[in-house]
Structure 1
Amino acid sequence: MTHTSTAQTTTDEFIRLGLDVLDTELTAIDGLRRYIDADFAHACELLLACTGRVIVIGMGKSGHIGGKIAATLASTGTPAFFVHPGEASHGDLGMITAADVVIAISNSGETNEVLSIAPLIKRRGVRLIGMTGNPQSTLADLADVHVCIAVEKEACPLGLAPTSSTTATLVMGDALAVALLHARGFTADDFALSHPGGSLGRRLLLHIHDVMHKGERIPLVDESATISQALLEMSRKGLGMTGITDAGGKLLGVFTDGDLRRILDQRLDVHQTPIAQVMTRQPITISADVLAAQGLKLMEDRKINGLFAVDADGYPQGALNMHDLLKAGVL
């Protein structure tokens, strides 16, 4: 049955109700501080010592939160997956081995579907971490270590819909995952290897050498070249710039589309004037081994559209522009 309010809710009332929910849930999160204790540390130690996988189980809303906790653990260096307790009772329990650690989530600590498989988990010698809002519950007693997630009240005015309690569970799961991340020495590169798809993976995995133009595709002219010869090289290579090198091949400067616009009113003879006379000396360069995202930041900070990658001695190894980063998905 659909119930409708007899009184019209005003805009101000909606805002007040929303802010009340935020205040209640913020209070619940702040209350978790007292549960970051020796039991929390013991849970971290069990998870860190796990030689198998971390299995997260939970029913209903706790199950939804459990799925996210498992995903966060897995993406930050702790192999983990979620198992539905109902499915575990019908065969999926075989996915759990003695080398694993189970995190069982139940706000009441009395969820039948979770409690029905907890003794079987214990019989297999699997270490069990219980996350409940009731330290005196059956699940808390069965667990090797209990992590408390109790909240003073739900944000739901009826006190029925899991709101503050699920938020607190999610935050406690994040606390476990991040504590383990630090303990493992998990790095940005490790994170990228778990996230190869999407912009995040590209920003963390791609290096300058992956996106730069190399070899004959690098726009370069000798310092004795004329402006017109430099313009031809820029046109052929299509990067909106060319590098200028000395007789030994070391990068001396750059000349860009922007430089061309600036010299147009100087009435120079482009067929006779050496490019070295109008080039930008001591150009901004980058190493080919750094992240492409660092190249993007450098270009944005210095308000330039292209870069040359050089080695430690200043010899060009490649060239790239903003379009290359856009095409690679870094931008």
Structure 2
Amino acid sequence: MPIEQARACLELEAEAIRALIPRIDDQFVIAMNMILHGTGRVVVTGMGKSGLIGKKIAATLASTGTPAFFLHPAEGIHGDLGMVTAADIVLAISNSGETSELVSILPAIKRIGAAIIAMTGRKQCTLVQNADAFLNVAVEKEACPLGLAPTASTTAALAMGDALAVALLSARNFTPEEFALYHPGGSLGRKLLLTVENVMRGGEDLPVITPAKTVKEALFAITAKGLGAVLVVESLAGMQLVGLLTDGDIRRSLENGHEFLDKPVGELMTRQPRTIVKDKLAAQALNLMEKNQPRPITLLPVVDSQFRAIGIIHLTDLLRQGVV
């Protein structure tokens, strides 16, 4: 019985969402254009469960390019309406359209001069009568078997809010980079905002050696810097990158003896290694490492426009920054 009830709940809520599709109509377009061409913010308000849905809608709008915040209608009665300006658009959510706390602030909102979008399940209600646009989120029945707890109705309101946010995102040509700007603490933000320069090792942390030095000396340099490789430069003065020598190169060569340790680095190094410039995204560096042929690599030299070595980026640096 509980399993059947749970499945029935999901079926009812899925049907509530499907019923919204034909309601993306002229009223939806009016509401979207009010927000799109408005000069103020979207003030989302609602009481109880509608208020909880409203908070999520406000957060989604704000993170996708539409400035928005949530206003509790009960707090609005006691002074918080001062946050609303004539340039704002109030998105009022109430399944019945008659929620007393919400209805009580409508006259003040009208006097302030803000436009109102009603998101409700009833066309004939006080909220719609005072609104400039109507988003119909009516449901045939709640998923609650008692018909009491807001379930399908709140799901429908949430889905309509998402539809509005996505339509606005598309109309604004909102980019992943803009999304990342509003999410600097998230993994997506780090992937889209962090550059190679933000992550690379440079200066005294940069392991460098010239081609004439011995492999043994290069091994000491690799050990000292702890990055598993050394950048080979034509000269320490010019820093022109000519190759890369890794501890893996040295280990593989040891299979044939250790005499090579006294040979010049230039004989063992990898010439023309994969490189990256400092203004590329750190995520692009990761992509280069993963797609390197014939096998993935764990580090990349960083060069400037003159192919001078200025840094090195290691996979552990990307892990530490949450890019991976």
Q: Same fold (TM over 0.5)?
A: yes
TM-superposed CA distance for 1:209, in Å, is 0.3
C-alpha distance in 2 between matches for 1:65 and 1:232: 61
Q: 1:285 aligns with which of 272, 275, 289?
A: 275
Q: 1:48 aligns with which of 36, 40, 44?
A: 36
What does residue 307 of structure 1 align with? 300
C-alpha distance in 2 between matches for 1:329 and 1:297: 14
TM-superposed CA distance for 1:87, in Å, is 1.0
SS in 2 for 1:266: coil
Confirm whether residue 127 of structure 1 aligns to residue 115 of structure 2. yes
TM-superposed CA distance for 1:43, in Å, is 0.8
What does residue 9 of structure 1 align with? none
C-alpha distance in 2 between matches for 1:160 and 1:282: 70
Cα distance change, pair 304–271 in 1 and its aligned pair in 2 (3 A): closer
- Is the contact between residue 66 and residue 105 of structure 1 (CA under 8 Å) also seen in structure 2? yes
Q: 1:151 aligns with which of 139, 152, 165?
A: 139
- Is the contact between residue 239 and residue 320 of structure 1 (CA under 8 Å) also seen in structure 2? no
What does residue 18 of structure 1 align with? 6
Instruction: Could you tell me which runs of 5 or more consecutive residues in structure 1 were left unpaired when the two chains were aligned.
Output: 1-12
What does residue 317 of structure 1 align with? 310
Spell out the pairing of 1:20-39 with structure 2 (5 A cutoff): 20-39=8-27
In the alignment of these two chains, the number of paired residues is: 319
What does residue 150 of structure 2 align with? 162
C-alpha distance in 2 between matches for 1:26 and 1:220: 61
Confirm whether residue 328 of structure 1 aligns to residue 318 of structure 2. no
What does residue 55 of structure 2 align with? 67
Confirm whether residue 139 of structure 1 aligns to residue 132 of structure 2. no
C-alpha distance in 1 between matches for 2:284 and 2:156: 36
TM-superposed CA distance for 1:61, in Å, is 0.4
Cα distance change, pair 221–84 in 1 and its aligned pair in 2 (3 A): same
C-alpha distance in 2 between matches for 1:113 and 1:47: 24
The two structures have a TM-score, normalised by structure 2, of: 0.91
Give identity over the alignment, percent.
Answer: 55
Cα distance change, pair 14–306 in 1 and its aligned pair in 2 (3 A): farther
Runs of 4+, deviation exceeding 6 Å: none
C-alpha distance in 2 between matches for 1:32 and 1:106: 16
C-alpha distance in 2 between matches for 1:172 and 1:41: 13
Q: Deviations over 1:171-196 (max 9, x none)?
A: 11111112222222322232222222
C-alpha distance in 2 between matches for 1:114 and 1:82: 13
The two structures have a TM-score, normalised by structure 1, of: 0.89
- Is the contact between residue 21 and residue 155 of structure 1 (CA under 8 Å) also seen in structure 2? yes
C-alpha distance in 1 between matches for 2:130 and 2:10: 34
C-alpha distance in 2 between matches for 1:18 and 1:222: 69
Spell out the pairing of 1:228-247 with structure 2 (5 A cutoff): 228-246=216-234
The farther-off stretch of 282-291 and 160-169 is 282-291
Cα distance change, pair 322–21 in 1 and its aligned pair in 2 (3 A): same
TM-superposed CA distance for 1:210, in Å, is 0.5
TM-superposed CA distance for 1:198, in Å, is 4.2
Alignment RMSD (CA, Å): 1.9
C-alpha distance in 2 between matches for 1:37 and 1:313: 57
Instruction: Could you tell me which runs of 5 or more consecutive residues in structure 2 were left unpaired when the two chains were aligned.
Output: none
Q: Deviations over 1:257-300 (max 9, x none)?
A: 22222111011424422222222233222221122123233323
C-alpha distance in 1 between matches for 2:309 and 2:217: 19
